[in-house]
Every structure is written in C-alpha cells, then in structure tokens.
Chain A
Amino acid sequence: MSAALDPAHPARGPGDRLTGLFWRRPSVLLALLLAPPLLWLGVVYVGSLVALLWQSFYSIDEFSGVVVPELTLKTYAELLRPSNADVILRTATMAAAVTIASAVLAFPIAYYAARYAKGRWKAAFYLGVMLPLWSSYLVKVYAWKLILAKEGIVTWAFEGLGAGNLLNAVLAIPVIGGNSLSTSYIGTFLVFLYVWLPFMILPMQASLERVPATMLEASGDLGARPGQTFRHVILPLAMPGVIAGSIFTFSLTLGDYIIPQIVGSSRLFIGQAVYTLQGTAGNIPLAAAFAVVPILIMLVYLAVARRLGAFDAL
C-alpha cells in the first residue's frame, strides 16, 4: 500500500515495517530500550538491596551462631553498642573529612579547567585527572603504603629538609597520629583523598562549565568584589556539582574496606566490619545492619542538601 503511495520509496521488508511501527508509536521503542536496564535495576539491584534490608531485621542465636529468620530490632540494638557505634562514627568522620578536603582541593582545578583551559590544556586536564583511574586501585594503594611508610620517601624528604621534627610533631597528635604516616588515620585520609579526588573534580568541572561568563561579569558590574561573586554566584551555581562529587567521595569512603586495611591503624571501618561479619563471624544480620548505615547517612545527607537549596540551580 505504501508502495502505491510513494513509488520512489517502496517498503523494503520487516526492517522498514519495524521503523514504521516505532515512528507511529514512539512509546514502543522507549519501552524496548528501557526494559533491560529497568529489569536489571529493579530485580538485581533494588531486589538485592531489599533482601539486605530484610536480613538486617533477622538476628543471630548467640549460642548456636545460627541466623534466626524472625523479624526483630535486636540486631540494630547491637549495632548501637559502643564498639559498633565507634566504627560508624569513625567511618562517617573520615568520609566527611575526605569529602571536605577533596572539595577544597578540587575547586581550583575544576574552576581552571572550566573557565580557562582551552584545546590542548583541556585535553591535558582530562588526561591528568583520569590517568590515575586507569591503573589498578590496589597498586596505587600499595604504592601509597610505601610512600607513607616510616622508611618511605615522605619521611626521607621531611628529614632531608630538616623538618623531621615537624613530621614527628604531626604524628604525635593523639587519635589521628601514629607510629608512621602509613599506620595513622592521616595516612588513611591521604590515600582516600588521592583515590577519590577525580570523582569530585569531574562533576564540579561539569557544573562550573555551565555557568556563563557573563553571569560573573554581571556580578562584578553590579559592584561585587571577587569574593562576593564567588560566594553569591559561583558557589551556588556550582553547588549541584559539588553535591554530586561529594556523593561519590562520601559514599565511596563509607563503603571502602581495602584502603583502611592496607594503610592506617588497625581500627575497623564500616566496610571492614561488614567484611569480617559476613565472612569469618558469619553474622549476616549484623553485617546487613552495618551495610544499611551508609544508605541512611546518604539519604539524610541528600535531604539536608536539598533543604539548604543545593539543588535550586538545577
């Protein structure tokens, strides 16, 4: 029939008919495209999350060590015991410190890349930021262990500069200090900062890129000093990027169990707690309860960010 209507473009078989169907009913194409990812997200991803949440309401029989499949809040009560609450507090504090430090470090880099870097320099920026992501995470962490070790290059450099006492003074600070950088919270913090920094820079740069130059000029034109322009225009407009970046750095730090195991004091982080509880200890309910904590923290964090208007510029 269509051949009769348009002799120049005869129908050419099932492919054409399919194209025609998609053209008449775009929702069919959309449904076909979305079905696989929705299945994956819905069943595999959300499903396992729900299973996890569910198991956190089970408990373990203290004598036999067997999981009792009855819903109870016992496991959550256990989670709030000082030794476990410490793990949560330690991890959340580390995640917050890493997030703030990466935001401060990333901003100038992202700002330069968004506003000044052109052509070759822009390529150099992307390469510089992404290159570390291409090598193995484990290799980088072990490299950092060597760098931060007592016999490592950092100690050597401090001593060579005659600042060995300074390093010792820093390591003597209670709680965050330690025997050497590689066995202190400072070391853990530095490695986290290094590993997650690109995840802060890239979204920040993307959001800064969307701020038109005339907006900054308008601010100056109306009498704002550069500091005021930063506070009232650049920062609010860059906030969605900062929040996106902080979601990465914060949640990645909350969940990581390798870095604190290789670099740092031997005190546990949430990830390590989950790892040991579900493995050797066989306490799946408590492991699940621990795993729920980062999710809750992130939800609270996003709610607060939204409240403060971080997404107003979206």
Chain B
Amino acid sequence: MTAAVDFSHVSRQFGSGAAAVRAVDDVSLTIAEGEFFAMLGPSGSGKTTCLRLISGFESPNDGTIRIFGQDMGSVPPNRRHVNTVFQDYALFPHMTVRDNVAYGLMVRGVDRRTRMARAEEMLGLVHLPEFGGRKPGQLSGGQRQRVALARALVNEPRVLLLDEPLGALDLKLREAMQDELKSLQKRLGITFVFVTHDQGEALSMADRVAVFSKGKIVQTGSPAEVYERPATRFVADFVGSSNVLDPAQSARLGGPARWTSLRPEAIRLAGEGTPGTVTTLRYLGAGTRVSVALAAGEDLGVLLPAGAPVPAPGDPVRLTWERSAMHAMEGEA
C-alpha cells in the first residue's frame, strides 16, 4: 500500500548565508492511509512548516515529498488532493457560511444547485445545519472552527491537514472537539495530519505521534510508546514533563547508569524509601504536583492523585517507585 504522505530527506531553509534557519532539517516520515497522525512540538520546532510543505505553501530545498506515491515537486497547492483547516480558520468574511463551505466546489465549476446541496450536507456533518445564511463574523469561535472543517472537507480531500485547529477554543469546547474530530476521522476514513503543541491533545487523538524539536523528528510512535518510552530527554520532558535523570543521578537512585526518565505519576509517597523535602506544591484539580528536593540534590516531581494526603512545603517525605518505571533513553539531546 502506498503511503498517504511520504517525506524523504526533506529540508526547508529560510533566509540565506549566516542568517539561514533550517526550519525543517532532513526529515523523513511516512504517514499511512487512514491514519490520524499528530505532529507535536514546541513553537519553532518545524511542525507547521512540515504541514505547509504537504499543503504546498512551502517548497522543500532538498528531498522529495510524495502524496499517494505522486511526487509533489511541481504541483501547486490548488492541484493537490489535500485540504487545510487553518489555525485562524481563514474564513472569507464577505461570504455567507454556505458560500464559504461551497467555495472549493465553486472554483471547480460545480453548478450552484449541487454545491449548495453539498454545502448543506457538510454543515449537517459538523452540526451547524441552521447556520448557512450567516456571515462568519456572526459565529462563535467554536462554530467558525466547524465551518472551517466543513469547508476543508467539501472537496473530499485524501489528506486533511489541521494546523492547531483547537488552539483558540476554551477547554470544554476543545475536549468536545477532540472527540468529534476523532470520530469524524474514523467515519470518513480520511488521513488526518494534525499539528499541535499540546501533548495532551496529540496523545488523546492520534494513532501515531511525531515529536519535533529544532526542525528534526526526535521520535515517532504510538502515543503510549512516546509517553512511556521517550527516546530522548527532550521527549521525556516535553511529553508529560517527566523527571529526567542524568546517568550519575539515575545510578544513585537505583536505575541504570544512563539518561533515564521517571514519570511523576509513577512515584508514591511512602513510609520508607528515598528521603527528601517538599519544596513547592501545584494544585491541578485532578491531582497535586509536588516538587521534592532529595538529600542528594536532585529535584523530583511527584504527581499525587486527588484524595491522597498532601504534605505541606518543608515536610520531610520518603519516595518510592518501581525500578521498571525508570526508563533508560537512547539519546542525550
């Protein structure tokens, strides 16, 4: 089976000479058909540039990009079977919602009756059947997001690109949209490529996650793989803010003499174990994150579940965890 999207040694550089910045640096990746693929990374890590390379708004300086086997080297954005949900939605303010959704059909010369019917159908799909006659300015952020989704889906793309589509929504709406996007993707069977800096979003929605740092992919894998077995210090810290221990610290705490990740939720407060002192508390609602300074000098984050007794800053505590929770990482970076 041909991959939906295939990057082979792709680089994209901005500027030239000494000021050149490699936004995407020798990236190779394969996204399978029908996959929900997340590109996760901090801002400036190259994930959005990768998305724009797929949509065609950027061209690679090096390497080849294939979409369903076809080399995209000389294919402009308007001739790619790829559509994008933009971060700012980019709805056309002078058109009604219905005309916005039907835009992709209009520019392809579909007759008015058919495209209006299709637009209504898409608006039904995103649960906005009554809103066709309004202007985008009269909609809320969440509604605009759905219109942008309907507009991108009307062309029946083979790959749908989503650029931080939930970033502007409040938490409640974001969670609802996460579920909705996921079920929509299952129903339509379209390949989704999703860019986000929110690790929770990537883990909860994606089939596979690529973690970006400084223009490179540092790890690709299922959400569980990336979370439980981070390949590098960067991944361990960025995905779920793990405790990262250097080889000496790890050995001192009973782990392998390698760079090691120890998840905060794997650590428990107990009557025995490694002694330390509570420094700060951060109440998270569903739990409390406790920073503990160990006698040997390390600082460990511990996640206490809600309902567990919470110590006060300055309290002496003892920490214990399973040896298997200490995951040795290959890379150092």
Contacts and interface: CB of A to CB of B under 8 A. Distances in A.
B92 A221 contact: no
Contacts of A236: 94
A19 B240 CA distance: 52
Interface string B118-162: 000000000000000000000000000000000110010000000
**Most chain B beta carbons < 10 A, residue from A219, A221, A309:** A221
Interface SS of chain A: helix, strand, loop or mixed?
helix
Contact of B108 (A221, A223, A237): A223
Interface string B51-80: 000011100000000000000000011110
Contacts, number: 69
A214 B107 contact: no
A174 interface: no
Nearest to B86: A214
Interface stretch (A63-71, A224-232, A284-292): A224-232
A20 interface: no
Contact of B86 (A218, A223, A232, A237): A218
Nearest to A311: B94
Interface in B217-237: none
B106 to A, nearest CB: 8
Nearest to A227: B107
Q: Report the interface size class on chain A.
A: 20 to 34
Interface in A220-266: 220-225, 228, 232-233, 236-237
Given A232-B103, A233-B92, A224 B78 contact: yes
A217 interface: yes
Interface residues of B, number: 26
A228 B108 CA distance: 10
B304 to A, nearest CB: 43
A220 B86 contact: no
B86 A217 contact: yes
A212 interface: yes
B83 interface: yes
B92 A217 contact: no
Given A212-B88, A214-B88, A224-B78, A219 B93 contact: no
A215 B136 CA distance: 13
A20 B90 CA distance: 44
Contacts of A218: 84, 86, 90-92, 151
Contacts of A220: 56-57, 76-78
Interface string B79-112: 1001110111011111000000001101110000
Nearest to A233: B92
A221 B84 contact: yes
Contacts of A212: 88, 90
A312 B95 CA distance: 9
A227 B55 CA distance: 19
Given A219-B107, A222-B104, 11 more contacts: A212-B88, A214-B87, A217-B55, A217-B86, A217-B90, A218-B86, A221-B57, A223-B155, A224-B103, A232-B92, A237-B92
7 contacts: A217-B77, A217-B86, A217-B90, A220-B76, A221-B77, A222-B107, A237-B93
